[in-house]
Amino acid sequence: MSDAVLRLDHVNVVRDGTFLLRDVSWEVSAGQRWVVLGPNGAGKTTLLQIASGRLFPTAGSVELFGHRLGTVNLLDLRYRVGVVSPALVETPPREERVLDAVVTAGWSVLGRADEEYDQVDLDRAATLLTQFGCRELRDRRFGTLSEGERKRVLIARSLMTDPELLLLDEPASGLDLGAREALLRRLTRFAADPAAPVSVLVSHHVEEIPVGVTHALLVRGGQVRAAGPVAEVLTAARLSDCFGIPLDVSVAAGRYSARLTAGPPSRRRAVSAAV
């Protein structure tokens, strides 16, 4: 029996005559940690919408946890997918206490009213906040947090329902260097935890890939350009093809970096004109 958590088979998404995704086939299996990379407009958010069961394909089939979308109650499946994405899920109210912002996810609500939560749920929320370095923030108002703190609290919130698949949409975007590194350190630890759910992290930048990611998917123009084990996919040739510019790629201690290839002046001029 297949251990696929998510499977897309020849998926197209078409809007107003435009292919947002074209002939995308992709399988995410138990134990894997994926990164999805691609330039602006490549179709990454559309892919996450599909993966979270929020969007049906125009053509092709999607299976989540072995259930084909369209044949099962979507709400049951969505509960098993944690999502951290400003494009896909609403954020808690500014006035919400941080601990409440996490614990309310267990009830799929935003904003605590006067409902009573079990101690076990409050303890779980506190543990998740600790895991993401936010223990001391538990009584603060969500709206008073820095961008980096907010992102870590939202990851804790997404894990409250103990999801089997976690989708992270550009978790490091907008963070300063210190906050980015603090987040990546937490995500690296998380990736190494065998009890952590299967994860898919979307990014524009190889520098924002935590150590421990096992697989990579490159998308451009709604199409898959490469997919597979991270070392085979995150090469200079494949990333240059995906982003449409000549790139040098290096990896040190499991972290990637990419920069425009340093070539002869005439080549650099041609590249900057193209960029």
Ligand X SMILES: Nc1ncnc2c1ncn2[C@@H]1O[C@H](COP(=O)(O)OP(=O)(O)OP(=O)(O)O)[C@@H](O)[C@H]1O
**Integer Cα distance of 218 and 201 in angstroms:** 12
CB–CB of 127/135 below 8 Å?
A: no
Element (H, E) at 69: none
Q: Between 20 and 134, whose beta carbon lies closer to ligand X?
A: 20
Q: Between 46 and 131, whose beta carbon lies closer to ligand X?
A: 46
| Minimum CB distance to ligand X, residue 93 (Å) | 25
Residue with tokens 């210190």, as numbered in its chain: 178
CB–CB of 165/7 below 8 Å?
A: no
Which is nearest to 14 in space by CA: 60, 70, 71, 78?
60
| Minimum CB distance to ligand X, residue 12 (Å) | 13
| Minimum CB distance to ligand X, residue 195 (Å) | 30
* Residue 262: Cβ-neighbour burial (10 angstroms; 0-12, 13-18, 19+): exposed
Q: Between 43 and 163, whose beta carbon lies closer to ligand X?
A: 43
* Residue 274: Cβ-neighbour burial (10 angstroms; 0-12, 13-18, 19+): exposed
Q: Between 32 and 45, whose beta carbon lies closer to ligand X?
A: 45
Q: Between 55 and 125, whose beta carbon lies closer to ligand X?
A: 55
Residue with tokens 């509960």, as numbered in its chain: 79
CB–CB of 6/165 below 8 Å?
A: yes
Instruction: Name the 3-class secondary structure at 258.
Output: strand
| Minimum CB distance to ligand X, residue 81 (Å) | 17
Q: Between 43 and 57, whose beta carbon lies closer to ligand X?
A: 43
Which is nearest to 142 in space by CA: 103, 179, 170?
103
Q: Which residues bind ligand X (CB under 6 A)?
A: 15-16, 18, 20, 38, 40-46, 204
